[in-house]
Each structure stands twice: as structure tokens, then as C-alpha cells.
Structure 1
């Protein structure tokens, strides 16, 4: 581990699916000397996509970490998935990273998952570089992608390079700081770029682009502003230093050009990572971490952001924010209150582990030996307790009924599901209250397919699997209040609890809230948590169709108790029963997940595509041209999207494609509720 935090970069590579993230990561491994053979995603030889399912499917499923060195800088790199089903991997990586490289397809530009990842990076305050990749492809347009960054994402994106050549003729880049060209004469990665003069045909465009870059940087640097106003030239090193500050403050996103598959543009990107993305010490420490002096000398604090169980055993990936950690140390889990012993520490290189003796502030390491720590938990010095911001886990949108083929597999299935939920908190397991079936819930069909395959291949469980079902939710549209009395007497100790509760709706995404306004001891303080537990238990199964209830608040305003016959258990039972009655009175509504769908189609099929979306209860929200293709954006209920890919291929002779991601929950029509009550929970047409 490095002892020089200024020579450390913790970065992630994020993008829409198929933008070339993993290919870029493989080139980074090669050019930094970490690997001596370039892996290829399409050939199933990627070092970072080492899971058998990743290699078979040709996609990244779980984020992979590795460590490389470029110049005098150590780069801890995390390659993240591009598919929306695995977006938790992106979110929890961005939570602990100091910078990111956003990769964009030179043809498609800003795609739906690009927007989602960009918003995640904004939420976590992560500085970024943008790389326009695949510039060797037909239809690639560097300028159009930069324009999309500025208009669709409202990003302060400014090119620091211009491509030399287009499509198959893309051979190099113009460096707008040095005002020189770097040209790759062959696809051979061992052939270094030639530094040459800017091609005459690009000279005027390069001068104009550099002037715009200097003007953009001048807004954030007084010295460059003074030089710009005076008409003086700005030296490359002065401009480079100012860009570093602007990137750190998220006031500028440098845009670079590349074709990772053709081995063009990788070295300049690594230079940009070293020059412009921040070191740990460049950024403010999380709230609660002492800011005085060197963070490495502060009491230990770290965040668990990922759990894995593989050939190396069970380990937790931890970002160290302060202090030092050594094998054998005892740390406190600030969430559970339990002490944990650090058995071993590892530096991670994809599927390899290298044992280290110490980790310090800024490092990302794998820790073996933790028993009760989960994703989002804070580890700290037992004598200096603090709690770091946790990691948000999205709600699942699809359910799948599963059961073991043999009764003997029941215990193995339960153990495997528990392990999988520890590793991927976006997977949920629950029992259907009516059928008693085990329901595995996730973010999409692909995630559930991967989970089922893992249960069979990795855990050896033979399964019967139902068809996918929409993970509906319930809520309330009105308000209600009632006083509920729970009273039982059967010869022995009695049961008594009286509660006055009120319910009101909340905004989408607010979840379930509980507030106590008890005064004067009408309900003893020790029973209040039991009342809240009863409310939350009732919210697990709604009154319309048994789905979890969300986005409502229950207020406890009054109550009564009995000295002998009242207990926490009785108040919990009373609260659950009262909440169910309240939900019935407060205009219950069914919520269905609605997806943001983007369809890319040849123009001649546009009418058929829009007509089909309308038949699926879709609302078209926009149309655009992307090169020669037409792009349709729509909001469509998830229930209507099962089997869509087959229909879309039939409509377009196999030439159209689509992507979708969760847009939010909306109130479902009455006929959907009726269909669910009749038992057709999978497709409510």
C-alpha cells in the first residue's frame, strides 16, 4: 500500500451497456503492465469479467476491482456493470470512489444508463472525465457526443482533445493543451504513438477549440482569466493545473477521444486520470471524520461497500477514510454495535488477492474475517465511534416464484439465498402471504436469470421456477383516523392495548414513516417502538392485493394501557391490526412500476413501434434522430413489457433495439387491480 496519498487515485469506469468499459479496462491493465495479454470481452478472456456467467454472456455483472500504476501514481480501479439490472454495483462503487471515467459510445452518445449513472455521480459528488469511445465505428461523431453531454446532461463538458480522422480513418488525437498530435500507426498495442504537428486541415479547428477551453477554464481561475482578457497565451502546464482544480470542484468535465478496441487513446486517458482526477486528500472527508492533520493519523474509519464469497472465502470490500488498519485489529461495527476482528487484509486484482500487512486512509482493500458486517456498514475505532453515510439499495421491481425440486434441497436453498442477499442487497426474498411461495425479487429479468443460474451452478440447488411477476406496491390516497382497542381475557394473563392512529399519504419514494405524539404517558415510552414495529409489519402486505405498502405516514396521538395486561407484544399486535384497518379506510391504491423505455429503430418502422407502445399503455414522451436511426422515448408499465424484445424484432425485421430502466411508480388503473385479484398477477392486460 502506498504511503503517499497524493499519488493515489480511486476511480471507477461507468457507462451504458456495450459502450466499451471492460475493453477499456483491459487496455488499462495492459498499458500499465498489470497484465501481459489483453483480454477481450467478446472472446470471454477478460481479466476483469472473470465470473463464468460474465464470460458466457459477454457482459459485466458485478463490479471488479484492481490496482495498476501509471507514472508515479497508484490507481485503484473499479470496472462497473452497464446493465440497469446491476445498477446497485455502480451506486455502491460511486459511493466510495474519488473520481470516475464516464465512457460513451461514439455513435450512440448519451444513452439512458449514461444519464442514470451521471445522476448517481452527481448525488455522490464524484468528479469526472468523459471518454468518447468507439470512434472507429461507422457513424461515430465526437462533436455530436460532446453536444449531447452539454445539452442532455447539462454537463460542463469541454474537449481537451480532437479526433484525427473519422470512423475507420480514426488514427489519433490532437492534444489541445500542448497543441500537438498523437498518432497511432497500427492497432498493435506495443506500437507507441507518434508525436507530430497538428494536421493542417485541423489547425483552425484546434485553435478555436483551445480558445473555448481556455475561456471555460478562465471562469474558475483568476490568473488565466487575466491572461485571457489581456490576449496573452496560456502555457500548457498552467492550463493543466487549472483544469485539475476545476475538475475537483466539478466545474469542468474534460472530454477525450479513443478507440479502446483499436488501442488508440489509452495512454492520454491514463495521463488525464493522473493529472486531473483528485487524490483522496484533495476531497473533503466524510462528515464525522476528524479533518485536522493527516487523515492517516486519525482514528480508523471505513465503509463496507461490497461483500463477496469466492474461491478466497468470504471477504468485505472496504474503503478506508481515516486512520490505519492492520491484520489482527479489532474494529467496531457502528451499525450493529458488534466488534469484529480483521483476520487478513488483501489488495484486490480482479479474481486475485495479494496479502498486505496494513491499509491506510485512501486505500480500498478486502478484509477477511468479518462475521456480521453488511453493505453500507461503518467500521471504526472502538474508542472513537462514528457513523458514515450508508449506501442506498433500490427497491426490486420483479418477483419470481421459486421452490426446490426435492425437499432435501430446502435447507441448501435457504442458505444459498441468505448468502446471495448478503452479497447483493438488491435481491430480496419473501414469502407470498396467500400462496406461501418463496418469491425472489430483483431489479429485472436478467438479474433474476443470473441469480437462478448461480443457485443451480454454484450452490447445486435444483429449482422449479415460475414466470416473472411485477413487484407491485400499494399506497393510500386519503387520510383516516381511528381508535383501536385490543382486549382479550382467557382465564390467564389478559391482553390490553388502546391506540389512536392517523394515516396520511406521502410523496413517491418517501417509504413508511412513523411519528409518536404521545404526551403524559398515555402509552408508556417502552411500548412506542413496538407500536412502530406493528405499523411496519402491517405495511408488508397491503389490503388490495397483498403487496408491500409504501409512501404513507402513521401518527400515534393517544392511547391507554393496563398495568398488568399490557406489554410490548400486545401493543405491536394492536398496532398491526389498527394499521390494516386504517389502510382500508384511507383510499388504498395499487402502484405499478413504470419504465423509461428508449427504442432505437430504422425510420421505416417508426409508426409500427409507436403503435405497439401505445397498445402497451405507453406514453411517448419524445422522438429524435440519432444518425440514420429514429429514437423513441416512452413511459410504459413494466407489466406490459414482458416479451417485448420478441415483438420488437418481429415489427422491425430484427433491426430495432431497446433499453429500459425504472422511471418510478404510478397508480395503476382499476382493471389492473381487478386482474390481480382474479389471480393474473404476471400480466394485467
Structure 2
């Protein structure tokens, strides 16, 4: 693949380690090679090889194209070249709560320089932050520095109004870098502290963990008042609980993990919602009509105002949209969030005295619920992409187990002495899977899993899922 290495082989010249490393580096930068380093962080095996490989094979900031961003107001494309003399531009890619120095914001400088005492601008919040302390991280060592340069990775101490994916830049030359995208959680569980003392600490712990991990969410269930934690899988939530106990000394009980089901509609419908209350004096009046129809999978909620003739005054349209957004948080089948729906606001009416924003918001919620009921609603479940690596002699047992879990086998391929089975499996069927494959393969199989998409739940399972939710 690499011309220089091939030329050395053809001309029977020595193929030195340096020549091989240079060839691997060139092909890695060209996205033709993916270096793989074996090891274990837990047992500190192979870590040095990994660090050496980063130095030997990955591109320096000067060997990659400029970072791409856009002007926050006009959305015009802007490039941020790797240049110390350029306008300062960086991306906050990780937040971390350090027990000794507090909140650390890890950031990568794409252009320009940043020094202690400088002021940076966050175009998402339109706020300025003064940099009081800069730290360079070297493994478990922290070194205070005065300045960091383009291409550097460093950490800021003490900055407040920031989240993962925010751009920090020069206020006179604002730029918005493309933030990383994070999947929505697919699994959740209720969690409660064991003691009153733990209750106070748990809130702080969960807030900090949610700040650090964009794929982890915390919210309060509106019906039960329980604290719900949501993440990317069983292991993810187990790690969160372990960190709560280990780092924050919070002991908590957790309920059984719950699947993040969704609802959508399969047909178009017309929904009507009215709120009319009169009890002496000023009353409440709102009337909204909507057309709902299914959107393409992954489109989310799309709302369009098609009111003509002022049948709903313009000042009430934001309240109507707010009601629509609230309505999709709870579907009509099992109260699960509704996704992938197009909504047109088409008609309504108002009262000169009794109409207000709250009345129109509630009328919009009623109209959406009416439309959902008539739109042939269905239940959706999260589907996971699963890759299973197993010795060939266990292939049949592994595939048989996947089939029992309603899996759809995408491919089976040989890779050395292993068989790689790629499948799509409903998350609901993956509980206890790690234990199952260890048992089937005498501990010799492994798997990886990541969210893929949502699919309709088979009709024969819908009733059981909804009944189970009602009993909770």
C-alpha cells in the first residue's frame, strides 16, 4: 500500500523499523490504516505502547486541514488554520470534576494562543470568561502554564458557564466550531439515596456527573417524583453508580433499568383542541386545530405555522408552539415521548377578553393529543448495533442465542481464528447478555454495543410493555 516501503522491498533494501513507522504514519493520516494497540488500562498493560503509537502514527496539527466553523450570526463558513498568529479559537471537549482543583475544562486550541489573564468569548451563551488559571495535564500530573499554543490540549480552572462542545474564541473574531454529536440515552432507572445525608450529596454528585458526560441525563419523574438517571446501557449506569459511591461517597438504591421507548404516528390526522372556561369575571378561551402526519425516521418534531386571516393572533403562536412541544413529551399509548412528527397549525379562534397564552398552550396540547389518537399511533423500541467476537466453535450457540433475542443478523465474517457476528438487536433483549455469552463460550467471547435507531415494537409485545408500565 505504501510506495516507499514497497520500493524498499522490490529493490531488496533493508526495511527498517523507522521506514515501517513512517509508512504506517503516512497511511494512517491518509485514513487507509487504523493502528490497533492491545493492552489493559486497568492492569497498566500496553499503555506506553499506546502513547508511543500516538506520537509515531497520528498526525500533528500541521498535517490536518484547518478546523471548520461558522460565523455565529450569519452562519457563513469560517476556517481556523493551525497558526499561533491567528485569531484565538478552541473547543471545550471534556469537563471533569477534580477533587483538588474543582471543575476542569479540557480544551483543544485550533488557532491562536491563550494566556493566563486573557478573556475568552463563548458564542453559545454570549458571555465572556476571564482565564485565571491554565493547566497542562501529563498523565496524573498537573503543571500550571502561562500560555498554550495552536494545537495544544490544556485545561482551564474555574470557568463556569460552559458545557461540552462549546467554542471559546476571540470576541472580536467570533466563530462557532461544530460540536460533537451525542446520542440520546436508551436506558433509564430510578435511583434513591439510602439516607437523608446521601440525599443532599446525591444531587450534587448527579449534577457534576451530568456536566462531565453529555450522554448521561438526570431528571425528576413528573408523576412519581423519583430521580431518574438515563444513559447508554447497563454498564454505563453501573459505572455512574460506582463513581457516585467512590468519588462522592453517595450510597444509593437503584431500580430495575427501564427501556427508553418512543411513540410515533403512522397516518395523517386532524386534531382539535379547545379550552373554554367561564366562572364569573375573566375566563379562559383557546381554540387550536392542527394537521399531524408522520415524518421520516430521525427528523424529530417539525412545526409549521399555516394560520391565515389572523384566526389565531400572531402573539399567541409562540404559546401554541410551546404547547405542541410539551405535547410530544408524553404520547397517548404509554406516555412515552413522541418522535418524527410533522405538525401544521391550520386553524383556531380566540376571544377578545378571555384568550391568553396559557389558554392557547393548553388548547394546542389538547389538539395534539386528539391528532395522536387518530393518527394510528405505534410504539417504537431502541435497536442496538451489536458486534460479537467469538471462537468458531461457539458460533452456532452465539447466533442461536441472538436469534432468541429477536436479533437480525447483518453479517458473519472470519477474522483470524475468530468469527465476527454483526447484528441488530432490540435493547429490551440485551439485559444480562454479558453473562449469557460468557456462559455460552466459557468466557472466550466478547461483544460491543452501540445505539442504532428506533423500530416498531412487534404487536404481540405491545400489550405486555404497556401493562408493565401501568403497574409501575
Give the TM bin, normalised by the shorter chain. Answer: 0.7 to 0.9
Partner of 1:218: none
CA distance in 1, matches of 2:134, 2:175: 22
C-alpha distance in structure 1 between counterparts of 2:90 and 2:296, whole Å = 33
Indicate the SS of the match to 2:69.
Answer: coil
Q: Report the secondary structure of 1:346's partner residue.
A: strand
Who is 2:32 aligned against? 253
The reply to whether residue 388 of structure 1 matches residue 177 of structure 2 is yes
Change (3 A) 1:544 1:384: same
Match of 2:414 in 1: 625
Q: CA deviation at 1:404?
A: 1.4
Q: Structure 1 pair 564/391, CA: closer, same or farther in 2 (3 Å)?
A: farther
- 2:66 match: 284
Contact 1:475 1:591 in 2 (8 A): yes
Contact 2:66/2:80 (8 A) holds in 1 = no
The answer to whether the 8 Å contact 2:409/2:423 transfers is yes
TM-score, L = length of structure 2: 0.84
Query: CA 1:258–1:572 in structure 2 vs 1: closer, same or farther (change >3 Å)?
Result: closer
| CA 386–176 in structure 1, closer or farther in 2 if over 3 Å, else same | farther
Distance 1:619 1:294 in 2: 45
Query: Deviation string for 1:388-412 (max 9, x for gaps)?
Result: 3222121111111111122443332
The alignment status of 1:587 with 2:366, answered yes or no, reads no
User: Does residue 422 of the first structure (1) align with residue 211 of the second (2)?
Assistant: yes
Secondary structure at 1:393 match in 2: coil
Corresponding position: 1:300 with 2:88: yes
State the secondary structure of the residue aligned to 1:646. Answer: helix
Deviates more, 1:623-632 or 1:634-643: 623-632
- The 3 A distance-change label for structure 1 pair 291 and 660 is closer
Unaligned stretches of 5+ in structure 1? 1-156, 163-173, 184-194, 196-235
8 Å contact from structure 2 (residues 271, 369) kept in 1: no
In 1: Cα distance, 2:259 partner to 2:141 partner: 38
- Could you say if the C-alpha distance between residues 257 and 313 of structure 1 is closer, same or farther in structure 2, counting changes exceeding 3 Å? closer
TM-score by length of structure 1 reads 0.60
Contact conserved, 1:307 with 1:314, CA < 8 A, in 2?
A: yes
Partner of 1:484: 273
Q: Which residue of 1 aligns with 2:165?
A: 376
1:607 aligned partner? 396
1:470 alignment partner in structure 2 = 259
Q: How does 1:149-228 map to 2 (within 5 A)?
A: 179-182=13-16
1:639 paired to 2:428:
yes
In 1: Cα distance, 2:356 partner to 2:250 partner: 43
8 Å contact kept, 2:268–2:375: yes
Residues 524 and 409 (structure 1), Cα distance of their counterparts in 2 relative to 1, 3 Å cut: farther
Q: 1:444 to 1:672 in 2, by over 3 A?
A: same
Deviations 1:13-36 (A, max 9, x none): xxxxxxxxxxxxxxxxxxxxxxxx
1:357 corresponds to 2:146: yes
**Aligned equivalents of 1:298, 1:159: Cα separation in 2:** 36
Distance 1:619 1:640 in 2: 12
Task: Tell me, in whole angstroms, the C-alpha distance in 1 between the residues paired with 2:431 and 2:60.
Answer: 43
Shift in CA distance, 580/416, structure 1 to aligned 2, threshold 3 Å: farther
List per-residue Cα deviations over 1:196-232 (Å, max 9, x = no partner). xxxxxxxxxxxxxxxxxxxxxxxxxxxxxxxxxxxxx
- Quote the residue 2:97 is aligned against: 309
User: Partner of 1:516 in structure 2?
Assistant: 305
Secondary structure, aligned partner of 1:636: strand
Closer/same/farther in 2, CA of residues 161 and 571 from structure 1, 3 Å limit: farther
Q: Deviations over 1:408-432 (max 9, x none)?
A: 4333222221221111111112333
Task: Report matched runs for 1:4-23 at 5 Å.
Answer: none
- Residues 77-92 of structure 1: matches in 2 within 5 Å? none
- CA drift of 1:680 comes to 6.2
Q: Find out whether 1:658 has 2:447 as its counterpart.
A: yes
Q: Following the alignment from structure 1 to structure 2, what is the Cα–Cα distance between the partners of residues 423 and 491?
A: 52
The 1:282/1:471 distance shift into structure 2, 3 A limit, reads: closer
> In 2 relative to 1, CA 407–159 (structure 1 residues): closer, same or farther, beyond 3 Å?
farther
1:310 positional shift: 0.8
- Provide closer, same or farther for how the CA distance between residues 331 and 496 of structure 1 changes in structure 2, counting only shifts above 3 A: farther
Check 1:557–1:331 CA distance in 2 against 1; reply closer, same or farther (3 A cut): farther
Q: What is the Cα deviation at residue 247 of structure 1? A: 6.8
1:399 matched residue in structure 2: 188
Could you tell which deviates more after superposition, 665-674 or 550-559?
A: 550-559
Comparing 630-639 with 388-397, greater Cα deviation is found at 630-639
Q: CA deviation at 1:175?
A: 8.6
Q: Please provide the CA RMSD for this pair.
A: 3.7
Q: Return the alpha-carbon distance in structure 1 between the equivalents of residues 238 and 51 of structure 2.
A: 38
Partner SS state of residue 446, structure 1 = helix
Residues 336 and 560 (structure 1), Cα distance of their counterparts in 2 relative to 1, 3 Å cut:
farther
| Mean CA deviation greater in 364-373 or 560-569 | 560-569
Query: Which of 557, 571, 576 is the equivalent residue of 2:360?
Result: 571
In structure 2, list runs of 5 or more residues that go unmatched: 40-44, 72-77
- Tell me whether 1:542 sits opposite 2:331 in the alignment: yes
Once the 2 structures are TM-superposed, how far is the Cα of residue 257 of structure 1 from its aligned partner?
8.6
Residues in 2 aligned to 1:266 and 1:648: alpha-carbon distance in whole angstroms? 29
Q: How big is the shift at 1:465?
A: 0.9
Look up the match of 2:125.
336
Partner of 1:3: none
Secondary structure of residue in 2 paired with 1:550: coil
Residue 317 of structure 2 corresponds to which residue in structure 1?
528
| Matched positions, count | 458
Pick from 382, 404, 413 the counterpart of residue 202 of structure 2: 413
8 Å CA contact 1:479, 1:502 repeated in 2: yes
Q: Quote the Cα distance in structure 1 between the aligned partners of 2:315 and 2:243.
A: 44
Distance 2:447 2:275 in 1: 54
Paired with 2:404 and 2:248, the residues of 1 have a C-alpha distance of 41
